[in-house]
Amino acid sequence: MPKHTLEVDSIMYSTGGRLLLSDVYLKCQTGEVVGLLGRNGSGKTTLLKIIFGTKTTDNKFIQIDGNVCNTPYTHKGLIGYLPQEGFLPHALSISTIIRIFLDDKQKQQELLAHESVQQHLNKKTAELSTGERRYIELLLLLQLDAEFLLLDEPFSGIASLQVERIQELIEANRLTKGFLVTDHDYKAVLEISNQLLLLVDGACRHIKHRDELMQWGYVPAGSFS
């Protein structure tokens, strides 16, 4: 199966007179899970939105398979984005959302018949737990033909069992897609990532060993003892 490559370079972003992102570079291929860590306010969500194409900045270079694409979300089959705040309408039932979100009738039926979805079909999004909602959101995104998925806080505020289920879902699809995942639950990110980046001082630091997270002051000393 041919690999696809997302490459991001020279991203700079300023807000309120502060340079938040400075010459960011990262690369993700299908078959990879790239973990993106960083403290609150370091620019992780901003970076994902810039890569997706919904946040503008004067300086950025994004290419997919060697083709420059500064607004990937406008091109079908390239990229999907799980926002931190979620995207499911709260007033609609899950079955209705699935039918609206997916044009492909076969994919609709497969998801409607999914064992983890069936019990929630008649529920509205507001009736789901955070973990249930995040799981269904990710299932929907995985039905897209997108080669890359950007996941912003997929593990935040959910029970450990739901964290494991989402990790398993990512693992089951990593051969055909590339994932860029950011979350404050750094241990959950570490467990699934085969490449790790730390966003600090506006740049992406490539982390070769988890102990470097202590050296950069991202986690307290002794965290991995």
Q: What is the CATH number of the domain that holds 164?
A: 3.40.50.300
Kindly state whether residue 71 falls inside one of the protein's structural domains.
Answer: yes
Kindly state whether residue 176 falls inside one of the protein's structural domains.
Answer: yes
pLDDT score at 23 = 84
pLDDT score at 94 = 96
pLDDT score at 184 = 94
What pLDDT, in 10s, does the model give residues 164-201?
Answer: 999 999 999 999 999 999 999 999 999 999 999 999 99
- 96 has pLDDT over 80: yes
Kindly state whether residue 153 falls inside one of the protein's structural domains.
Answer: yes
Query: Span 148-153, mean pLDDT?
Result: 98
Kindly state whether residue 18 falls inside one of the protein's structural domains.
Answer: yes
Q: Supply φ then ψ for residue 61, to 5 degrees.
A: -140, 115
Q: Supply φ then ψ for residue 100, to 5 degrees.
A: -75, -40
pLDDT level of residue 204 (50, 70, 90 thresholds): very high
Kindly state whether residue 43 falls inside one of the protein's structural domains.
Answer: yes
- 158 has pLDDT over 80: yes
What pLDDT, in 10s, does the model give residues 42-86?
Answer: 999 999 999 999 999 989 999 999 999 989 999 988 999 999 999
Q: How many domains does the chain have?
A: 1
pLDDT score at 58 = 80
Q: Report the C-alpha gap between 134 and 202 in whole angstroms.
A: 28
Average pLDDT over the chain, rounded to an integer: 94
Task: List beta partners, residue 125.
Answer: none
Query: Span 140-148, mean pLDDT?
Result: 94
Percent of the chain with pLDDT over 90: 91
SS3 128: coil
Q: Supply φ then ψ for residue 204, to 5 degrees.
A: -90, 115
Q: What's the domain range around 77? A: 5-83+132-215
What pLDDT, in 10s, does the model give residues 160-172?
Answer: 999 999 999 999 9
Q: Report the C-alpha gap between 14 and 58 in whole angstroms.
A: 9
* 42 CB-contact burial (10 Å; exposed 0-12 / middle 13-18 / buried 19+): buried
- 17 has pLDDT over 90: no
pLDDT level of residue 16 (50, 70, 90 thresholds): confident
Kindly state whether residue 125 falls inside one of the protein's structural domains.
Answer: no
- 206 has pLDDT over 80: yes
Kindly state whether residue 14 falls inside one of the protein's structural domains.
Answer: yes
Task: Quote the Cα angle for 164-169-170, to 5°.
Answer: 100
Q: Report the 3 state secondary structure along 60-124.
A: EEEEECCEECCCHHHCCCCEEEECCCCCCCCCCEHHHHHHHHCCCHHHHHHHHCCHHHHCCCCCE
Kindly state whether residue 120 falls inside one of the protein's structural domains.
Answer: no
